[in-house]
Amino acid sequence: MTNRFQSGGNKTIKLRLSALGKNPVILTKNVYVKPYPINLSRPDGDISPKVTLSTPTSALITNYQWNYGDGSPAATW
């Protein structure tokens, strides 16, 4: 899963794992997103900081919900 943050700084990322008949489990990770330098020659280019995190996998997990801690909507699949 890849997320492009709209701003730098400290973020708390949460992953909620749901399985049938089980209570959801929430995993958290604190990260620092370094502000991306703006390239003035490409003011409309891709300037969003990016962090890539791995997702735990299991046949028992029926739902993943990422919350990136930056105000963006949670991503579910």
Domain ranges of the chain: 2-76
Residue 26 has pLDDT above 70, yes or no: yes
Name the least confident of 10-14, 19-23, 53-57: 53-57
Q: Residue 40: what pLDDT?
A: 54
pLDDT at 32: 87
pTM of the model: 0.46
- The whole-angstrom separation of Cα 74 and Cα 58 is 21
Rounded Cα distance between 14 and 1, Å, is 13
Taking alpha carbons only, the member of 32, 27, 26, 28 closest to residue 9 is 32
Higher pLDDT, 27 or 75: 27
Report pLDDT digits (tens) over 36-73: 665 555 555 555 555 566 666 666 667 777 777 777 76
